[in-house]
């Protein structure tokens, strides 16, 4: 069974994916571009924490970063078959 905070974070991750669905998928994206975007999202997360943004803003930024990490993993595993 998943812990409550894991379920809440997974819901935030899905919410961010849903909010950005209009941008299209990530399967055609280069891993190098996704890595660049992940670094940008981590910067946004850090700025949100440092400036003491409300918890919902920090959660949203963390979910954005997590989504780019997931996209990298997904694309990488599609290209590199065991």
First vs last C-alpha separation in the chain: 29
| Span 11-26, pLDDT tens digits | 999 999 999 999 999 9
Question: Whole-model pTM?
Answer: 0.90
Residues 20, 64, 11, 49, CA torsion sign: negative
- How many other C-beta atoms lie within 10 A of the C-beta of residue 6? 10
pLDDT at 51 over 90: yes
């Amino acid at each position: 069974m998943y812990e409550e905070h894991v379920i809440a974070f997974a819901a935030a991750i899905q919410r961010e994916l849903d909010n950005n669905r209009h941008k299209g998928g990530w399967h055609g994206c280069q891993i190098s571009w996704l890595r660049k975007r992940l670094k940008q999202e981590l910067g946004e997360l850090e700025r949100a924490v440092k400036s003491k943004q409300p918890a919902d803003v920090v959660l949203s930024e963390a979910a954005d970063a997590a989504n780019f990490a997931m996209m990298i993993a997904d694309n990488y595993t599609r290209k590199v078959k065991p």
